[in-house]
Amino acid sequence: MGKIPVKHAAKDELKVGIIGLGHLHPRAYMPLFTAVPGVRVVAAMDPSPSLRQEFGAEFNIPVYASLDELLAAHRVDIAAIFLPHADCPAAAEVCARAGAHLMVEKPMAADAGGAARIVRAAQRYGVQLTTGYCWRLHPAAIEFKRLVQSNAIGRMIGAEGRCAAGRLQRYIEGHSPWMLQRARSGGGPMFNLGVHWIDLFRWILEENVVEVSGCNVHVNRRYDIEDNSMALLRFSGGAVVTLNISYTVPDAFPHGRDLYLAVRGTLGCLSWAPAYEGERDEIFLCSDHPDYRASPRRHLGFELPPVRGYSGIMGWNYVTDFIAAIRNGSPPAIRGEDGVAALRVVEAIYRSAQSRRWERVRR
């Protein structure tokens, strides 16, 4: 049994250390940390001299070449980890041992075993742990789940999710070529992007994935990750979800992302094409449920406040929720166990792509 996480009084300033700069997200998180009262980024680390110099000059903070150097110079309350996925478990253990709460960028590790290792470290040293499945905290996602759980479309039969973002070149240009190396990243778009939709459907349905059927497509043979990945997920309640996850969206696509979720039930259907960092999202509902029959086609619009930083309002909600969990000693909305569960599904998809048959999700 692990230690109980220590509370931090509301008046205490929480100091953040950024662990790893060779990633697309550290810069985008800086405005979020700046916007939350009582939080301050005090240092960063990365082995690359050029990344250290550039980041330190831009944000006027010291940047160290190693994690040991950073922790020797600063007592950080939160370690925001953006390292190559394979390196996250070891770094998280070091930070947890030093008493830092863990904000580990999804998918947490290069395999489910590594993610479970981080969960155990957080429990052992009594620190809070969260990971970046911030789509749960989007206002439209919260309403989407409410409608599903309130039986607005009846019993769930099936669903689909599409998530295509950028091209492989963005990782080269974003100083993170390790994303294209399976040994360091864990995999391609299903591992890096599909986990978002896997986690979101688990949360919306409040069920686990029990078995999967997957297929990977390689377009760019220079790298050992897939460019596109498709899968069928069978949930414990019987619903089947189809996923279409890709790194091949056209550059001209709005916001550089092709995003879509839809669910179908015995009474109707519900869909949402997220605007990502746009300022308006709409949910489309068509149902024979008595509460909605008078308006069979119902658009629910969400005017979102413009928020600078990673993922806009849902990114701000993600950081704010974790800060509240630290201050209150309560579990965060997204826990490390959620990260482990998503990766176990991805690993089953990859096994299925090789075996060409349905594979059970390991527990």
Amino acid sitting at position 336 = G
pLDDT band for position 6 (cuts 50, 70, 90)? low
Note down the domain range covering 70: 14-134+315-334
DSSP-assigned letter for residue 127: -
Asked if pLDDT for residue 344 goes beyond 80, the answer is yes
pLDDT band for position 294 (cuts 50, 70, 90)? low
Residues 148 and 129 in one domain: no
Residues 102 and 192 in one domain: no
Alpha helices in the chain (DSSP H): 26-35, 49-59, 67-73, 88-97, 112-125, 139-149, 169-173, 182-185, 189, 195-205, 312-328, 336-355
Angle at CA of residue 284, ends 279 and 287, nearest 5°:
155
Tokens at 199, concatenated: 């986690």
Tokens at 12, concatenated: 């205490």
Longest Cα–Cα distance of the chain, Å, equals 64
Tokens at 17, concatenated: 């250390």
Helix 139-149 and helix 312-328, axial crossing angle in degrees, nearest 10? 80
Q: What is the CATH number of the domain that holds 149?
A: 3.30.360.10
Mean pLDDT computed over every residue of the chain = 93
Residues 87 and 140 in one domain: no
Over residues 112-125, mean pLDDT: 98
Contact between 248 and 230 under an 8 Å Cβ cutoff? The reply is no
Residues 232 and 220 in one domain: yes
Positive or negative, the CA dihedral 331, 199, 170, 95 is positive
pLDDT band for position 295 (cuts 50, 70, 90)? low
Q: Which residue has the higher pLDDT, 169 or 115?
A: 115
Tell me the CA distances in angstroms from 321 to 25, 60, 193, 280, 281, one per residue in order: 19, 26, 22, 22, 22
Tokens at 292, concatenated: 């909605």
Q: What is the CATH number of the domain that holds 112?
A: 3.40.50.720
For residue 266, what are the contacts with CB-CB under 8 A and spacing of at least 6? 153, 154, 155, 157
Q: Is residue 6 part of a domain?
A: no
pLDDT of residue 11: 65
Residues 197 and 140 in one domain: yes
Residues 204 and 303 in one domain: yes
What's the rounded Cα separation, in Å, for the pair 178 and 181?
A: 5
pLDDT of residue 293: 74
Give me the number of domains the chain comprises: 2
Residues 91 and 120 in one domain: yes
Asked if pLDDT for residue 1 goes beyond 60, the answer is no
Collapsed DSSP state (helix, strand, coil) of residue 134: helix
Residues 48 and 163 in one domain: no
Collapsed DSSP state (helix, strand, coil) of residue 20: coil
What does pTM read for this prediction? 0.95
Q: Is residue 3 part of a domain?
A: no
